[in-house]
Amino acid sequence: METLTTKQKIFNSPVTTIILALLVFMAVVIAGQQITSKLLALTPLDKDYRSLLKGLLVSAMCVYSYILFFKKYEKREVTEFASKEFIKNILLGIFVGFTLQALTILVIYLNGSYSVIAVNPVSFILIPLALMFTVAIIEEILVRGILFRIVEEKLGSYISLLISGVTFWILHLINPHSTFLSGLCITAAGFLFGAAYMYKRNLWFPIAIHFAWNFTQSGIFGAITSGNEKTNSLLEAKIQGSEFITGGAFGPEGSIQAVVFCFVGTFILLALCHRENKIVKPYWR
């Protein structure tokens, strides 16, 4: 009986839960991408539309696998993906992400470092739309839905915010052209998304902010995102000038104003969390 209790404690521990959830989720992501790619390749659809559908299908599989896993494993109702206020959370998140990124680009423009070369057809945004939506869902489930949420239950909001923010930065270390400023911005963005989840207790809100931040940057303004290759975009732009303002080869996320705007957004959300008593204290308090 004592051995069984010990096994149950290990099985239900936060570390075990995080490891199992990560393994299951990543297996779904990898398998989902492979299966959808092969199935969609059999259709007569254009490459852009296949990419869009692939993104939507993989995203749906990610959300469903998260709900199913935690419903069975933790034996609870998974409220992180509740449909209540879904539209409100999505629209508010898109507004926040778009505004923060638009302000970042505006500083580059006012510095004389951003100019529009051409306006592309709307169809050009399909690939970045699908890509950024899928990336936002995968990363938010991994870092906020699994890591942040489970750690917060034991160690409280602030320690969990720190751990998840640093983890978010570590995950982006392998990105090309990383700098000190880009690392600071990625960490600040991790804090922003974590604070967004704390405030709404719903993953749709940080997913929408994350998506809008990335999509506005690459899909609309034609900038590089996190040091990756440039995607198609609505605006064909020329960005040159001081790396301190433009972010250089890493993109606007490596700029000083992006860091400032992410921290400002974080502080506002944390202030709202305090006002509405949404800060979780560590177990020893």
Domain membership of residue 258 (yes or no) is yes
Query: Domain count of the chain?
Result: 1
Domain membership of residue 32 (yes or no) is no
**DSSP conformation class of 142:** I
Domain membership of residue 39 (yes or no) is no
pLDDT tens for the 285 residues of the chain, in order: 445 577 777 777 899 999 999 999 999 999 999 999 999 998 998 888 888 899 899 999 999 999 999 999 999 999 999 988 999 999 999 999 999 999 999 999 999 999 999 999 998 898 888 889 999 999 999 999 999 999 999 999 999 999 999 999 998 888 889 889 999 999 999 999 999 999 999 999 999 999 999 999 999 999 999 988 888 899 999 999 999 999 999 999 999 999 999 999 999 999 999 999 999 999 887
Asked if residues 126 and 51 have their Cβ atoms less than 8 Å apart, the reply is yes
Asked if residues 158 and 211 have their Cβ atoms less than 8 Å apart, the reply is no
User: What separation in angstroms does the CA of 252 have from each of 26, 31, 213, 274?
Assistant: 29, 32, 11, 30
Domain membership of residue 77 (yes or no) is no
- For residues 165 and 167, give the distance between their C-alpha atoms in angstroms, rounded to a whole number: 5
Domain membership of residue 54 (yes or no) is no
| Full residue range of the structural domain in which residue 260 is found | 84-275
Nearest residue to 180 (alpha-carbon basis) of 259, 264, 111:
259
- For residues 249 and 72, give the distance between their C-alpha atoms in angstroms, rounded to a whole number: 44
Domain membership of residue 60 (yes or no) is no
Domain membership of residue 240 (yes or no) is yes
pTM exceeds 0.85 for this model: yes
Domain membership of residue 148 (yes or no) is yes
